C-alpha cells in the first residue's frame, strides 16, 4: 500500500504530465492527468487525516472523502473532475471544445490542491 509521500509524489508527477500535455494536442489526456493528480492528492490527504483504507474504486474514494469530513464543495469538485475525465475519454468531444475542458480541469485541480494541502 503506498504511503503518504508516495501519493504526494504521484500527484506532482501527474500534474507535471498534465501541464506538459496541456501545451500540445493531447488536451483530453491532460484533463485525465489532472484528475489522477487530484486522486493521489486526495489519497495523501486521507492518509494525513488517519484514513489508511485502500479504496477499490472511485466510488469508495468519494465515500472516504465524506467520512473524512471533506467539505461538500470539494467532494463535488472532485466528482466533477472525475466526470470531465470520463467525458473526454469516452464521449469523444469536439477537439475544438477541449480547451474549455482543460481550463475547467486545471482550475478544479488548483482548488483541490490548495484545499487538500499536506505538509
Give me the percent of the chain exceeding a pLDDT of 70: 100
Domain residue spans in the chain?
A: 4-115
**Tell me: the pLDDT tens digits for 38-89?**
999 999 999 999 999 999 999 999 999 999 999 999 999 999 999 999 999 9
- The set of cell numbers assigned to 48 is 494525513
Longest CA–CA separation in the chain, Å: 43
8 Å CB contact between 19 and 105? no
Mean pLDDT, the chain, whole residue set: 96
Cell matching residue 87:
467525458
Provide the whole-model pTM.
0.96
Q: Is the pLDDT of residue 1 over 80?
A: no
Give the CATH superfamily of 4-115.
Nucleotidyltransferases  domain 2 (1.20.120.330)
CA 9 to chain CA mean position, Å: 14
Amino acid at each position: 500500500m503506498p504511503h503518504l509521500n508516495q501519493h504526494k509524489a504521484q500527484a506532482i508527477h501527474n500534474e507535471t504530465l498534465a501541464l506538459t500535455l496541456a501545451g500540445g494536442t493531447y488536451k483530453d489526456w491532460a484533463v485525465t492527468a489532472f484528475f489522477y493528480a487530484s486522486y493521489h492528492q486526495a489519497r495523501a490527504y486521507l492518509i494525513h487525516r488517519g484514513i489508511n483504507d485502500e479504496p477499490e474504486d472511485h466510488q469508495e474514494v468519494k465515500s472516504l472523502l465524506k467520512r473524512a469530513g471533506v467539505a461538500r464543495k470539494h467532494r463535488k469538485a472532485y466528482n466533477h473532475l472525475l466526470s470531465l475525465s470520463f467525458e473526454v475519454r469516452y464521449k469523444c468531444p469536439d477537439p475544438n471544445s477541449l480547451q474549455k475542458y482543460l481550463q475547467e480541469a486545471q482550475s478544479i485541480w488548483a482548488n483541490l490542491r490548495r484545499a487538500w494541502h499536506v505538509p
